[in-house]
Amino acid sequence: MTAKTWWSKLFASNTSQPAFSQNPSATVIASQGAVVQIDKLGKEFQEGEIQRTVLQNVTLRFDSGEFVVLLGHSGSGKSTLLNLISGIDKPSSGTVRINDLAITELDERSRTLFRRDYIGFVFQFFNLIPTLTVLENVTLPQELAGRSSTVAQQSALHLLERVGLADRIHTYPDKLSGGQQQRVAIARALAHDPALILADEPTGNLDEETGQRVLQILLDLTRNTGKTLIMATHNPEIAQLADRVLRVQDGHLTRVIVHPDALEEVVV
């Protein structure tokens, strides 16, 4: 599967109509941050004869405009939770509601449309399409969603200027540094004005200095527009910038405070 095909499968549909246009009262208003309500959420995986519980009876709420960090080691369930919130994966039990829309009750096509219109993703490994230029990488998701090329390009150019890459719009990803590629990914995630941003280890593949710059750009762009940002990371230093920090461990989420000096955690 090519990168373009993968992106289309994950976020696109064969229709350009807005998702859930028949019931606008239940949808997310894209220019505002989303409220995410999770109730009794559980996720289990079958590994041979062993059933592995990743998340168990999780109930919590993410408020509009809030920046929440999910801390945890690899395999703790951080990415699984993001996948459940976005509708990429379905839970074994429980519900996920985004602005009162129960996405866990939608079929696969409707979940795809929802992601396309209301969620922005920033991945650890950028997931840029190597055969497209910087500008084309940012416009593609918008065009798949039915935006005209003119509108998509205007949005892309504005955001690429904001992330400091206005002079690289015709460059291909393999000519960019890791930090530059992640800045393109941030512009792509925000180009369709989503209500919710999900970031999975967005600085995990960058050196410390570059990671700090990329993180600051992401925070500036999301906070200035009131977006809800949920970020999975194993880096406690990032957690100090968050409104709230949740430790993912043994299938449960616990609120913690990260001490700014020793980077120690205190359970709230």
The 10s digit of each residue's pLDDT in 58-96 is 999 999 999 999 999 888 999 999 999 999 999 999 999
Mean pLDDT, rounded, for 113-136? 91
DSSP labels, 70-136: EE--TTSSHHHHHHHHHTSS--SEEEEEETTEEGGGS-HHHHHHHHHHHEEEE-TT----TTS-HHH
Percent of the chain with pLDDT over 90: 56
pTM of the model: 0.85
CA distance 189 to 2: 20
How high does pLDDT run on average in the chain? 86
pLDDT digits (tens, 9 = 90+) for 207-224: 888 888 888 888 988 888
* Residues whose CB falls within 8 Å of the CB of residue 7, separated by 6 or more in sequence, listed in order: 127, 129, 140, 141, 144
Torsion on CA atoms 160, 8, 227, 54, rounded to nearest 10: -130
Mean pLDDT, rounded, for 115-122? 90
Which helix (DSSP H) or strand (DSSP E) does residue 250 occupy? none
Percent of the chain with pLDDT over 70: 85
Residue 28: predicted pLDDT: 45
